[in-house]
Structure 1
């Protein structure tokens, strides 16, 4: 049962989600989770509900602990809360941090849902906690964009009462200029959900970064993010071709979009048929601007090169404009690069410092795409060397509560690279760092491999890669 009120912003979802929420309410157990969907100008579209799992002691990154130092102690209890005030906001924000990596362009975490009694949801302590949870989640998911796009501050809240089984939709604007009052949302369930359009692309990346000596206290994670930001801002100025054409931003992506849903015979409701998304090929032609400072080698402690070809996807609603499509593609690209760097730094925390001198190749995770699970869109995951498609299925189960079969994991878009081939093409040597410096940041021509590679190199004689590894072992601080 959906409870109405004064009509507010329209929120649409598939009927299957209504059945799932009602079943959870009838079970009578508390649950909180993330709402995955898409914000449009006219409405918000809910695609999936991902319940926040029971946290493990090691779930929080060092970055989150810096903001919430008491969270690890609370997480160590390893118990699922039974009411809203007992939820640790760091648990939900860390879940959001992992889930947002699995989303293609166009999709985001647009809110949270709570299954709990009415009295628990409406208490003042619960409402304060809910705002803290939404604020922490918004901050976490916005950070990965590197200030290249604005994350919408108006969030969706779904409350499912375990006593009346009613589903209430609210919206809350987290902007500091807005009041903290929740507004009624106009929740509509429809069979078959929404129709989607798919955009796919491949992007050749070849970035060289010099590591400065003057920031010894800053972690490798933050140092590289600082260096990636100029590239991220530059790539947002790219020319985006769609099916080899350059339409105006105001044009509809699909000019033949139908206004009315397709109806099946014998049905008494409008049924949106589950048809495959209309597919588009995208080319990203970014400006070849040199973003690296030409300061001397004496100011540098090491260098890092990111090289390879990235595969990406974005999904848009059926009435999306070309401008929305371009923004979704660029968001996916930036989010993909930052996600891999975050995961790479997480993996370095457990590795001992290296004492080798000379270039070292690290392979950050490659992207795979997940289909099925009853969703109309594809999701993604990242696999390190040695990981299998089964690991991606396990991640989908744990983080999204989705059952994905191994044969529905597409791991062919990005493949493992040949390390010796990349070393030859990298053109990095201890004796010739000046050549690297003169290259700046280059994106000319396709890469010989289809896997993003991170090359940790020597910047000057006597300064080894051990410095870089040692910095990385400090974690995301």
Structure 2
């Protein structure tokens, strides 16, 4: 349960000044930070305003009260919020912004709530149910969070003050909590690893592309969670001591696989084999007063969420291509439309590669590049999604993944030993077995003929020897 919220003072103060100078009537955005499992504190690193919609409309605006819009005489009230306009939100657009931001955040950072810039009167005039709805869709916009609490930060400009509330996602209830400042970003510790993997799974005929890749990622998740950790060359333990300065290198030791899942041993309905392999560069940030175990957990989670982000990018691009009806299908659309049991040759598909872009106080955010994209495309997306205020030098963008993540699908005919990869289209597993039986029978008949010929030759040699040897003996 979150009891106190700590915000990064330099960044949040500067953000408040920017809001004051621009003076919008209302604004909504996302809170980027961390909800710690081992602490009752929530850490706030940054506030990111939600950009205008594609139509140019603000995601948060003021709506006049129903009494004033209908022309009715407003009721008298002692509170200032009786005639104040309430806040109106584009919930779907805010949720999409949360999804895009979450995709760009590294381990130890996530979207943990929303902030609202509005007057005290307008904030009080807004129904708590409306505020809870916005927080709920933001919390559901991304996977991998086990917390049932989110933050609601209200920055009031009339009067000027900050207030923080905790929202219970399940019930929608709001409760106040303490808010204070500290220097968080300057004290973050960075953990980095490069995880190389290769797994092979059978593919069933009826499984679509998304299901197959998710199954591979789930198997990889179990592998990563069971891995032991080396931090700067030392085996991780609860009593390990590390320096607080510099970058910490983490290596994961994966245990040997001694057994195979039962469902992977059966060939019934198998269409082929999936080889899922590559290299993932992962980062995680550890806040003050947090344990090293959390950094390891965040680093493992970053590996998995990175792979799921790449899958989402492929699926999103395929959906966009299908709606535009392009004459030539993109690689993403081709991959998602692969029919496994019709494959007659291996099919390989490369996933987007991860790039790291400088952000705040030496920290990074990430983006993913398709084969046809460049780092300039990543920069443009970051400027739109997380509001990069300064231009980033191209040379400061890091491309850490030398080996791309790829998925290779091999047909059943290439998996089974002795089967032909050029089997006729539409042939079934039963047909292939019949064909193999006929071939074996032909080979057996040929072998018998050869043995018969050899036997006849030996008999002829023996008979000739019998008749020739006595004649020579008599002479």
Alpha-carbon separation, structure 2, partners of 1:347 and 1:461: 33
Say whether the 8 Å CA contact 1:297–1:459 is kept in structure 2.
Answer: no
Say whether the 8 Å CA contact 2:87–2:126 is kept in structure 1.
Answer: no
Say whether the 8 Å CA contact 2:368–2:378 is kept in structure 1.
Answer: yes
Task: Provide, for residues 159-217 of structure 1, a one-character-per-residue CA deviation record: whole Å limited to 9, x for no partner.
Answer: 1123223221222232x4xx6442323222345744011111111121233332345xx
1:233 to 199, 205, 222: 222
TM-score (structure 2 length as normaliser): 0.70
1:184 to 166, 173, 176: 176
Say whether the 8 Å CA contact 2:98–2:141 is kept in structure 1.
Answer: yes
* Deviation for aligned residue 1:55: 3.0
Alpha-carbon separation, structure 1, partners of 2:139 and 2:182: 28
Say whether the 8 Å CA contact 1:196–1:376 is kept in structure 2.
Answer: no
* Deviation for aligned residue 1:123: 3.0
Give the number of the structure whose residues are more often helix, by fraction: 2
Query: What's 2:444 paired with?
Result: none
Q: Does 1:433 align with 2:441?
A: no
Query: What's 2:251 paired with?
Result: 283
Say whether the 8 Å CA contact 2:87–2:123 is kept in structure 1.
Answer: no
Q: Does 1:397 align with 2:397?
A: no
Shift in CA distance, 85/246, structure 1 to aligned 2, threshold 3 Å: same
Further displaced range: 239-248 or 287-296: 287-296
Alpha-carbon separation, structure 2, partners of 1:157 and 1:245: 40
Alpha-carbon separation, structure 2, partners of 1:23 and 1:291: 56
Larger radius of gyration: 2
Q: Secondary structure at the match of 1:201?
A: strand
Alpha-carbon separation, structure 2, partners of 1:461 and 1:346: 34
Matching of residues 109-258 of structure 1 within 5 Å: 109-125=111-127, 127-141=128-142, 143=143, 145=144, 150-174=145-169, 176=170, 180-190=172-182, 193-214=185-206, 220-249=209-238, 251=239, 254=242
Say whether the 8 Å CA contact 1:37–1:47 is kept in structure 2.
Answer: yes
Task: Provide, for residues 36-59 of structure 1, a one-character-per-residue CA deviation record: whole Å limited to 9, x for no partner.
Answer: 112331522221211112233xxx
Long gaps (5+) in structure 2:
63-85, 322-328, 428-475
Long gaps (5+) in structure 1:
1-6, 57-75, 258-276, 436-457, 465-477
Query: What's 2:471 paired with?
Result: none
2:35 to 35, 39, 43: 39
Shift in CA distance, 333/404, structure 1 to aligned 2, threshold 3 Å: farther
Shift in CA distance, 288/395, structure 1 to aligned 2, threshold 3 Å: farther
* Deviation for aligned residue 1:236: 1.1
Shift in CA distance, 428/288, structure 1 to aligned 2, threshold 3 Å: farther
Shift in CA distance, 130/209, structure 1 to aligned 2, threshold 3 Å: farther
Q: Does 1:328 align with 2:298?
A: yes
Query: What's 2:109 paired with?
Result: 107
Say whether the 8 Å CA contact 2:270–2:412 is kept in structure 1.
Answer: no
Alpha-carbon separation, structure 1, partners of 2:154 and 2:416: 60
Equivalenced residues, count: 377
Alpha-carbon separation, structure 2, partners of 1:395 and 1:344: 16
Alpha-carbon separation, structure 1, partners of 2:104 and 2:231: 24
Say whether the 8 Å CA contact 2:105–2:365 is kept in structure 1.
Answer: yes
Q: Secondary structure at the match of 1:167?
A: strand
Alpha-carbon separation, structure 2, partners of 1:104 and 1:300: 37
Matching of residues 268-307 of structure 1 within 5 Å: 278-289=246-257, 290-291=260-261, 293-307=263-277
CA RMSD of aligned residues (A): 3.2
Further displaced range: 362-371 or 179-188: 179-188
Q: Secondary structure at the match of 2:413?
A: coil
Alpha-carbon separation, structure 2, partners of 1:136 and 1:55: 17
2:61 to 64, 70, 82: 82
Further displaced range: 96-105 or 403-412: 403-412
Q: Secondary structure at the match of 2:132?
A: helix
1:29 to 25, 39, 49: 25
Query: What's 1:365 paired with?
Result: 352
Say whether the 8 Å CA contact 1:49–1:400 is kept in structure 2.
Answer: no
Query: What's 2:83 paired with?
Result: none
Shift in CA distance, 463/42, structure 1 to aligned 2, threshold 3 Å: farther
Alpha-carbon separation, structure 2, partners of 1:222 and 1:17: 42
Alpha-carbon separation, structure 1, partners of 2:415 and 2:398: 35
Say whether the 8 Å CA contact 2:272–2:415 is kept in structure 1.
Answer: no
Q: Secondary structure at the match of 1:358?
A: coil
Shift in CA distance, 16/77, structure 1 to aligned 2, threshold 3 Å: closer
